[in-house]
Structure 1
Amino acid sequence: MQVRSTVAAYFGENTYLLSDAQTGQAVLIDPGSPLPFVVQWIEEEHLTVTDILLTHAHVDHIAGVPYFRQKYHVPVWLSEKERDVLENSIRSYPQVLGDLREKLQPDHWIHEGDCLTPFQLKVLETPGHTHGSVVYQSDNALFTGDTLFFGSVGRMDLFSGSESDMKKSLRKLFSLPEDYIVYPGHDIPTTLKQERSINPYVRYYLQDEE
């Protein structure tokens, strides 16, 4: 699996393109803006986009969904627990999302333990930043959205955020038996091992486990 990323124009969010050179299949994770040069990547590599996966429903992670959905006619996946967060984003950012209510509705609701093709990405429910936030887990990578960043974690003071949920979610991620590359919703990639060492939020929330 090849991972390419770019910073979306509207809010500085990371959009990820996962692809397999052998099969030619690809998925998008958190398209935060219309990104024509991502389309260029896809066309240059002769990829077939099969799905759009969302880690949560904040506007900076969904604003590009209508653009890519219209371009590729592929299903959109989102946690069922994000229904009200999605509606809140649509209401709160009409200047960005416009009248796109129907075009932003997911085709499939996802839940803990679901495994999504073509890359067999396992869904881990990680509430805290929002109550329907998820992480997508592959063999060696975690796409963490706004749950875990390099040296930080997602805000917990926004609509449906919860510090107690974030603590449980971080413990869940750091109980995974192997190290993983972390591809966050903002900033640069990191690893679980590095975050356990340097991230003050992680150390604080895990301190009574040490």
Structure 2
Amino acid sequence: MKIYFHLNLTGFSNCYIVANEKTKEALIIDPGIITESIIDQLESNSYKLVAVLVTHNHGSHVHGLKTLTKIYTPKIYGADWEIAGKETNVITGNGKIRLAGMTVQYITLPGHTADSMVYKIGNVFFTGDSISAGRIGSTNSSYSSHILRLNLNEKILSQQENTVIMPGHGPPTTVGAERRFNKDVNYKDLEPSQFAFSSHD
């Protein structure tokens, strides 16, 4: 698996290309803007774009979809039907899908928005705006903030310390770093059984 990072200067959000070198297939996570460098990355490596994953329906993470779908025909996944209307493959809850020859785990993580979703591929979490280096996502109420913290503790920070976090904004980080230094989270070292959630293939 190769991960290519692209910065959307309009919304200062991160867009990722995740490529399978064996199958020469790729997916894009959070296409806030589609630039020539993104297209060149796909074309120069002869990658077939098979899917787009959206962490949540905010403009700086989805504005590039219209441009992208004029050039390619990827399947679009997210928790909000309004991302791409009838073209959206709506996913809810926790589960797994097979895309570009890779297993993609999707985990619902409400708090920042009701439709917030995180994706785990291999040892890497793509977390959108739910968590970034030293911060958690903004919320519109104290209750939403509480729910977000609970979800982060249960579903993200319970993972192995070396699990990489690729956020929607800012630099990459790790689960271990966020446990230690992210004061917004107040991570508690609870028993692993308390973090269990179901998934399906």
**TM-score interval (norm. to shorter):** 0.7 to 0.9
| Mapped pair 1:171 → 2:153 | yes
Which 10-residue stretch deviates more, 161-170 or 51-60?
161-170
Q: In the alignment, what sits opposite 1:95?
A: none
Q: Deviations over 1:5-46 (max 9, x none)?
A: 111132010000000111100000000012121000111101
Deviation at 1:138, TM superposition (A): 1.7
* Pair 47,174 (structure 1): closer, same or farther in 2 beyond 3 Å: same
By how many angstroms is 1:4 displaced?
0.6
Q: What are the ranges of 5 or more consecutive residues in structure 1 without an aligned counterpart? A: 88-103
Residue of structure 2 in register with 1:146 after alignment: 129
C-alpha distance in 1 between matches for 2:95 and 2:168: 21
Report what 1:157 is aligned to: 140
8 A Cα contact 2:153 2:188, kept in partner: no
Q: Which residue of 2 aligns with 1:34?
A: 34
Aligned residues: CA RMSD:
2.0
Report the alpha carbon displacement of residue 71 of structure 1 after superposing the two structures with TM: 0.9
Q: Percent identity?
A: 26
Q: How many pairs align? A: 186
Match of 2:116 in 1: 133
Q: Hey, what does 2:65 align to over in structure 1?
A: 65
8 Å contact kept, 2:161–2:174: no
Deviations 1:44-89 (A, max 9, x none): 101000001100001110000111111111121111xx34xx48xx
Q: Secondary structure in 2 aligned to 1:42?
A: helix
TM-score normalised by the chain length of structure 2? 0.86
How far apart are the structure 2 equivalents of 1:165 and 1:72?
A: 37
Q: TM-score, normalised by structure 1?
A: 0.82
CA distance in structure 2 between the partners assigned to 1:6 and 1:45 by the alignment: 16
Q: Which has the higher helix share?
A: 1
Q: Work out whether residues 69 and 75 of structure 1, in 8 Å CA contact, stay in contact via their aligned partners in 2.
A: no
Partner of 2:104: 121
208 and 45 in structure 1: CA distance in 2 versus 1, 3 angstrom threshold: closer
